Structure 1
Amino acid sequence: MPRITPRYSPNPITRSPHGRRSLAAASLAVTAAFLLASCADSTDISIQTNPGWSIEEASVSVSICPQDSSDRLESAVLRGAHFGLEVECVASLSEIPDDYQIRYLTGDIDFYPLPPGYEFTLVQMAPDTSTSPSHTSDDSKLETVLIVDDHEWRFDGAPEPGAAYMVAAKADPEITLHVTDAGVQQTMDLNSGERTESVTALYEGDLTSILTDSFEGEVSGSNSRWNASYGYYIQFDASRDVWDSEAEEWVSDLDKALLTVTYLWPDTSGGDVSWDLDPESALTVSADGDSLSPTRVDREDTSFDWGDAEWIDAYFEVDGTALEFEIAFEIDGTLTVNEDNSTMRISEGKETVTFDLDFS
């Protein structure tokens, strides 16, 4: 049973810790006198509440608002790197209808009507939701503020599934939910269920990794003395994200995302034939036909049984709504025969290899 906290009480009650909400109905504190029914076998309590009366957050395992109620919101979702929630019901009621399962929140209590101009405002998170963090749930990085008119609930972490809140407030109040995740605040207007501040890419397409098909080829050329060739293999791993788990920081602005393209390129300077292709300049990434410039490129040497190679990570800042991209890798350049350093332009195998990325 949840705790009921009076705004004006001669005997204030200490607020319970977040996540612990249990109190018997007989011990509920209220702002005005209550009347007990005279029947010995009745447990109902009728209370007269004043404006400002509220119930602290309580976890309710069922939906308080009826399935067909207009107070139920559709797709009222907030999501961050470390939290995911869905607001199921927002109701302002002058009287509590019988088909609202309010007793799961208040216990066996009947409420007298509020003064004119005031209503009971109820907010409940969905008891069951598929909305999840984009990365890992972590309450230590979260702060939440729920505001109904001039009443605020503030706590660390994010609301739990089924969490419910109730307050006696002015009729038709402004209701907003703010969740701050690692310094980035997202806001929802609960009167409409619309996000007014959000990390765009978290609600557009998927934040995932795409491994392209592999491509094998061979380039060759000749001069007056030599015929030379070089075989190669290439494959790209692309990801679209907003949170860097290693650096533990947001990677871009609220309306942007970071596209990372990773690939391995062999060291072509060894052996009998060298190839002067620069894999960094050979790579082109575009969106809607417009070429993108990388914000940075990281290159790391590595070794395998078959020889040396280089991991290349190219980073591109993209619009949070952009979901489709094209990778193009241009196969061109000059071959060198290391025995005498004679060179030749590639004449066979010169082409541009393309791969499509779709994060929708």
Structure 2
Amino acid sequence: MPRILALAALPLLAAASLTAAGSADADSFLRTEPYELIVGSGGDPWCEEGGAAGDLAAPADLRGAHFSFSLDCLFSAPKVPADLAASIPALEHVPPAQDGSEFLFVQLALSSEYSPEHTTEPSLLASWIEVGEERISLAAAPRSSDHYVVSAPRDARAVLWVSDADRAQGIDLRTGAQVEPVAAYYNGLALRSYNLGGFEDDDPFRIVNERRSGTATCSTEYAEGTRALWLEDRGWAPEGTVFIEVRTRWCSRYNDITWELDRERAFTIDGEAPMSWTATERNAYWDDLVLVFTIPADVREATIDFSPVGDIRFKETGEELFTDDLPNFAWKLAF
């Protein structure tokens, strides 16, 4: 069965999980079985070791909603190189790999090429190394400067997997190639928030019905748009799309009237209404709005159109009011 050991516990590996065949010099007959894993952290212990140490497929990085890491180097060998064993005491007595197997040496970089989309959240992460059909669980997600030594059959695929909020992606421990990546993390388009500048109309809205007329104004400097793959209250965007989350405010209540925006027509992207709309009362007059759209993950620009179409009524009587001079605002985002 696969096991995981800290580097400090390495003597137990030789004593407990390896068998001797021979007599006088028993150590020379010890062999490391497949599916053994040694985990450590810190320093840069072996990126100069092994002829293929720098031969990584590009990109050798993984990024998720709550984690990121990059590979510094990896290589394979039938035994721990002498220079490496001499420089790291914990690897000094590791026996050679069993016939038909080899060691995979994996070193994570001290810093990652990417940052997580959000803050690191270990409770949402699960990690393991898959060697052939064997799965070796890790106690924690990969972190900067971690290193792994795993024994594997020579013909077995070995992949380091990280599941983030139930979406797994991996990196091949023989080549550094990504395995089932979340593609939108690596297409060069930004995942960030944008200040949209709010909205302001110089002329008051004229509102009327058959018996009354009046004016109203509404403006705010607060409007923010965020392009995201994962949102806390919605999870992952549907495959091939990203979220555009819009946060702003609206004057839903005046002294004499209420103004409820039309949720299908007031805010649109390419004519499409938001997939969700949340209005929270901020005070006696204002509502905070959170709108979520989806757009294709590969588009480089998006325009959020806003016009305050909606239902306008007198508070006291419920009479409906109308206006035909509504402004239009367009917020352009470039990713």
| TM-score, normalisation: structure 1 | 0.70
Name the counterpart of 1:240: 227
Name the counterpart of 1:11: none
What aligned pairs does 1:1-360 form with structure 2 within 5 A after superposition? 16=5, 21-23=7-9, 28-29=14-15, 30-32=18-20, 48-52=30-34, 54-66=36-48, 69-94=53-78, 103-104=87-88, 106-109=90-93, 115=99, 117-129=100-112, 131-149=114-132, 152-204=135-187, 205-217=189-201, 218-219=203-204, 229-234=215-220, 235-245=222-232, 247=233, 250-267=235-252, 270-271=255-256, 278=261, 280-286=263-269, 290-303=270-283, 308-330=285-307, 345-346=323-324, 350-358=326-334, 360=335
Determine the C-alpha separation between the residues in 2 that align with 1:318 and 1:200: 15
SS of aligned partner of 2:112: coil
What is the CA distance between 1:202 and its match in structure 2?
Answer: 3.7
Task: Name the aligned partner's letter for residue 71 of structure 1.
Answer: D
* Change in CA separation of 1:335 and 1:156 when aligned onto 2, cut-off 3 Å: closer
Percent of matched pairs sharing the same residue: 21
Determine the C-alpha separation between the residues in 2 that align with 1:316 and 1:170: 47
Tell me the matched-pair count: 325
Determine the C-alpha separation between the residues in 1 that align with 2:207 and 2:151: 86
Task: Name the aligned partner's letter for residue 259 of structure 1.
Answer: I
Task: Name the aligned partner's letter for residue 170 of structure 1.
Answer: P
SS of aligned partner of 1:232: coil
Task: Name the aligned partner's letter for residue 298 of structure 1.
Answer: T
Structure 1 vs Structure 2 CA RMSD: 4.4
Determine the C-alpha separation between the residues in 1 that align with 2:123 and 2:207: 63
CA contact (8 A) 1:209 1:239 kept: yes
Q: 1:1-22 deviations in whole A, cap 9, x for unaligned?
A: xxxxx98xxxxxx965xxx541
What is the CA distance between 1:158 and its match in structure 2?
Answer: 0.6
Determine the C-alpha separation between the residues in 2 that align with 1:222 and 1:27: 81
Task: Name the aligned partner's letter for residue 252 of structure 1.
Answer: A
* Change in CA separation of 1:190 and 1:56 when aligned onto 2, cut-off 3 Å: closer
Determine the C-alpha separation between the residues in 1 that align with 2:65 and 2:258: 43
Determine the C-alpha separation between the residues in 2 that align with 1:222 and 1:86: 59
What is the CA distance between 1:300 and its match in structure 2?
Answer: 2.5
CA contact (8 A) 2:35 2:131 kept: no
CA contact (8 A) 1:87 1:124 kept: yes
SS of aligned partner of 2:88: helix
What is the CA distance between 1:308 and its match in structure 2?
Answer: 0.9
Determine the C-alpha separation between the residues in 2 that align with 1:184 and 1:192: 22
What is the CA distance between 1:139 and its match in structure 2?
Answer: 2.7
What is the CA distance between 1:229 and its match in structure 2?
Answer: 4.4
Gaps of 5+ in 1: 1-5, 8-13, 38-44
* Change in CA separation of 1:300 and 1:335 when aligned onto 2, cut-off 3 Å: closer
CA contact (8 A) 2:40 2:147 kept: yes
CA contact (8 A) 1:209 1:240 kept: yes
Gaps of 5+ in 2: none
CA contact (8 A) 2:129 2:138 kept: no
Determine the C-alpha separation between the residues in 1 that align with 2:73 and 2:89: 14
What is the CA distance between 1:109 and its match in structure 2?
Answer: 4.8
What is the CA distance between 1:179 and its match in structure 2?
Answer: 1.4
Determine the C-alpha separation between the residues in 2 that align with 1:55 and 1:336: 69
CA contact (8 A) 2:101 2:153 kept: yes
Q: Which has the higher strand share?
A: 1
Determine the C-alpha separation between the residues in 2 that align with 1:335 and 1:183: 44
CA contact (8 A) 1:332 1:346 kept: no
Q: Comparing 173-182 with 148-157, which one deviates more in the overlay?
A: 148-157
CA contact (8 A) 1:105 1:164 kept: no
Task: Name the aligned partner's letter for residue 142 of structure 1.
Answer: L
Task: Name the aligned partner's letter for residue 253 of structure 1.
Answer: P
Determine the C-alpha separation between the residues in 2 that align with 1:338 and 1:15: 68
Name the counterpart of 1:10: none
What is the CA distance between 1:264 and its match in structure 2?
Answer: 1.0
